[in-house]
Structure 1
Amino acid sequence: MNTKQLDRIHTGKGFIAALDQSGGSTPKALLQYGIKENSYSNDEEMYALIHEMRTRIIKSPAFDSQFILGAILFENTMDRSIDGQFTADYLWEKKGIVPFLKVDKGLADLEDGVQLMKPIFGLNDLLKRAVERNIFGTKMRSVIKEANPVGIRKVVEQQFAIGNQIIEMGLVPIIEPEVDIHSADKATSEKRLKDEIFEHLSTLGKDVKVMLKLSIPTEDNFYSDLMEDPHVVRVVALSGGYTQEEANEKLARNHGLIASFSRALSEGLTAGQTHDEFNVMLSQSIQEIYEASIK
């Protein structure tokens, strides 16, 4: 584990940029960026286009370590290069931004009010490659739709079981049990989720470090006590389908909680924008998410 990177994530001012839309969500991300599905004819062309978009974001002068602590990459992005360097090396060496990798393979069907992660086949091989590519940590997402105690327990058990596998490889896992923002009993789900997380944190070895990526809570500052846990490097928030403005407004009310936004970060960016238009739009988004994150 890179201690300089650990210190930056633990104490730095800023937020985490989520650039990790994968197979299923890439067409949506491209469409939001102004590239229609008839612009590419296969996965390889699609991934080349999304890498161009991500490269444009990463290379932008607005994408600066003054505001951004880390960036979460998709496996395909980790394996590609920017200006002759692997993406993770470019992020850290050229930009001073800590690289993370999304490792999950998507969500299973709804059961017990939750969606667990699908099995992650070949995870150890992927983690070995991540270590070789100088990745600092990983991210994996499950979703909680209802305050079902059985389902929520299963979600957290699965997250920590795979998290331990990631820790053994020397990486820092971002545990991401998202509570659906449209859930009718969101606050109850969050209470049950927090209890389960604390229970699992208590089982970790003394020096083990994890991060948590959670939905912005219904009750302001609800996750303050999780931030104090010695195992927790940082608690970051997902935008969860809120607009950038809504997400920032809610985030700003939660002291110590920082953003890890995906859709809300790239909102308003399009392929047709000039270099200057793109950078101005991205700069404005980054500035506003940063301000909400440091409150």
Structure 2
Amino acid sequence: MDRIGQMERTIARLTSPGRGILAADESYPTITKRLSDHGIESTEENRRFYRSLLATTPGVEAYVSGIIFFEETLGQKTDEGVRIPEACDRQGIVPGIKVDKGLTELPGTDGEKITQGLDNLGDRLDGYLEQGALFTKWRNVYAITPSTPSRQALETNAEVLARYAAIAQSRGMVPIVEPEVLMDGDHDMARCAEVTEAAQGAVFEALRRHRVTLECMILKPNMVLPGKSQPRPSVEACAEATLKVLRRTVPAAVPSINFLSGGQTSEEATAHLNAMNRADGPRPWVLSFSYSRALQNPVQAAWQGDPANQGAAQKAFLKRARLNSLARNGQYEPAMEQESA
């Protein structure tokens, strides 16, 4: 197998103009919470119907290049009996898979977290490849307090992310590397920038050490924002702070930076991405989206767990995807939010 060639083809598809990535990879507890917020029961059938609804939305392939799924979804089928990954591929959307196994406490720290799932990862990836997945995602998190993240947490998380990325590339699968600095807390934007720079700096040092091919990976970072309890600066100020960190830490060889939304509203996430793509200064990478809640919340609100609402839910998804596509090109205007789906 031509591993590099396969990854280059996948990268080309994922970074095609005007498109971004949907994260529909919520674990059982997370999807249960998200659906219950809209009064929807998290049954296997509801999850299948919902994720099939996303993957088969007519026209969304113009704005979405890839969808990250949870393991369960790779084996599920649409109402027409087509496996969901194949349904994506038919629309020109690349199917991907979340491969980490969630957070656990990092021993020797003050409650900091490490992500597990490296055991037997290669064997699992072989199975996911057979099911049609061509790219992968792994998320680590960093909480900001006056004393965290510690050096131990920064270095250990970076090592885990790099080992994951190297294993994924050994199978010809593009790794999305997600070092998320959480918004929880009362820190200011300068503190978020400091921690984000430290986390990303450690990650890229580890990626080089593990000989990860930077041209065949995607970075999925947080934006530089103050903690949730703090006033929100202008979108231009957040864009400037985020780009400053990225220019310091992310090599130009990395083809694409696809941001997570991290607790922002749908409108905030779109406006922040738009401001970064309008900002002055060098941007050697694609700046796009890999949102979960910011893309899906309006869809779930329209769907309400009722199959009769599938059309309305798909229209809501299409609108949100289109607005983020415009933001990827710096062409979004807040007035567009008032346009009909």
Question: Does the TM-score normalized on the shorter chain lie above 0.5?
Answer: yes
1:112–1:151: 8 Å Cα contact kept in structure 2? no
Q: In structure 2, how many angstroms separate the alpha carbons of the residues matched to 1:254 and 1:113?
A: 34
Which of 81, 92, 96 pairs up with 2:92? 96
Kept in 2, the 8 Å contact 1:227–1:234? The answer is: no
Structure 2 equivalent of residue 214 of structure 1: 221
Q: 1:201 to 1:163 in 2, by over 3 A?
A: closer
Identity of aligned residues (%): 25
Residue type of the partner of 2:327? A
Match of 2:68 in 1: 72
The CA RMSD measured in Å over matched residues stands at 2.3
Cα distance in structure 1, aligned partners of 2:310 and 2:163: 44
| Corresponding position of 1:291 | 326
Q: Which amino acid aligns with 1:133?
A: Q
Equivalent in the alignment of 1:161 = 163
Aligned residues between the structures: 284
- Rounded to whole Å, the distance in 2 between the matches of 1:32 and 1:121 is 34
Deviates more, 1:123-132 or 1:68-77: 123-132
Partner of 1:42: none
Deviates more, 1:274-283 or 1:171-180: 274-283
Alignment of 1:94-173 (within 5 A): 94-109=90-105, 111=109, 114-146=112-144, 147-173=149-175
Give the aligned residue type for 2:40: I
Matches within 5 A, 1:254-293: 254-255=276-277, 256-268=286-298, 269=300, 270=303, 271-272=305-306, 274-293=309-328
1: CA distance, partners of 2:242 / 2:50: 34
- Displacement of 1:227 in angstroms is 5.6
Shift in Å, 1:240: 0.7
What is the TM-score with the length of structure 2 in the denominator? 0.76
State the match for 2:228 in structure 1.
none
Tell me which residue corresponds to 1:20. Answer: 25
Quick one: which of 180, 183, 187 aligns to 1:181? 183
Contact 2:7 2:174 in 1 (8 A): no
Cα distance in 2, alignment partners of residues 59 and 201 from structure 1: 35
Which is higher, the Rg of structure 1 or of structure 2?
Answer: 2
Alignment of 1:216-255 (within 5 A): 216-218=223-225, 219-221=241-243, 222-224=245-247, 228-230=251-253, 232-255=254-277
Amino acid at match of 1:4: R
Paired with 2:77 and 2:68, the residues of 1 have a C-alpha distance of 15
Q: Residue type of the partner of 1:197? A: V
Pairwise CA distance, 1:112 = 5.1
| Structure 1 contact 19–54 (Cα < 8 Å) conserved | yes
Structure 1 gaps, min length 5: 38-45
What residue is the counterpart of 1:43 in the other structure?
none
One-letter code aligned to 1:160: A
List gaps (5 residues or longer) in structure 2.
Answer: 1-5, 226-240, 278-285, 331-341
Please report the TM-score for the alignment, with normalisation by the length of structure 1: 0.87
Answer yes or no: is the 8 Å Cα contact 2:74–2:83 preserved in 1.
yes
Residue pair 1:177, 1:214 contacting (<8 A) in 2 also: yes
1:33/1:56 CA distance change after superposition, 3 Å: farther
The Cα offsets for residues 64-102 of structure 1, whole Å up to 9 and x where unpaired, read as 22101110011100111223332222211x210111100
Deviations 1:208-237 (A, max 9, x none): 62211111124131324656532x232111
1:61 corresponding residue in structure 2: 58
Q: Which residue number in structure 1 is paired with residue 13 of structure 2? A: 8
- Shift, 1:280, TM fit: 2.6
Report the CA distance shift for 1:16/1:101 in structure 2 as closer, same or farther (over 3 A).
Answer: same
Q: Give distance in 1, aligned partners of 2:83 and 2:223.
A: 33
Q: Work out whether residues 22 and 74 of structure 1, in 8 Å CA contact, stay in contact via their aligned partners in 2.
A: yes
More helix by share: 2
Which range is displaced more, 257-266 or 102-111?
Answer: 102-111
The 8 Å contact of residues 183 and 262 in structure 2, kept in 1 or not, is answered as: yes
